[in-house]
């Protein structure tokens, strides 16, 4: 968990914006793409990276592909950051049982 592809995926503003849009609901590739001033192939590339990091899920419905937010990885990120900020409070790993 909290592997490199996640941080790489989050390192781009466009991709973080995509995640933000997917917060409320699933959206199609085209629907997402038209919100950015960028070509569809470029957006498609961003989707691929987000998907590789498992930050989003995808499913095909006919011609369109729906993307959705995967919150599990974000929760891992929260754990990672919290553990870094305060190793004592974070229930990271086993042991260290006070």
* Beta partners for residue 69, in sequence order: 56
Output the CA torsion sign for 21, 9, 36, 33.
negative
Cα separation, 91 vs 82, whole angstroms:
9
According to CB under 8 A, which residues from 68 to 87 bind a second copy?
69, 71, 74-75, 77-78, 81-82, 84-87
Select the span of 30-38, 46-54, 57-65, 66-74 touching a second copy (CB under 8 A): 66-74
User: Should residue 12 be labelled a site residue for DNA when binding is judged by CB under 7 A?
Assistant: yes
Of 20, 30, 75, 87, the one binding DNA by CB under 7 A: 30
Select the span of 8-16, 17-25, 74-82, 83-91 touching DNA (CB under 7 A): 8-16
């Amino acid at each position: 968990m909290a592997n490199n592809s996640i941080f790489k995926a989050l390192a781009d503003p466009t991709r973080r914006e995509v995640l933000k849009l997917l917060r409320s609901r699933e959206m199609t590739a085209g629907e997402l793409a038209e919100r950015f001033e960028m070509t569809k192939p470029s957006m498609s590339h961003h989707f691929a990276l987000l998907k590789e990091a498992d930050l989003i899920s995808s499913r095909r419905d006919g011609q369109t592909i729906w993307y959705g937010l995967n919150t599990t990885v974000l929760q891992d990120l929260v754990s990672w950051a919290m553990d870094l900020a305060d190793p004592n409070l974070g229930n990271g790993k086993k042991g260290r049982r006070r």
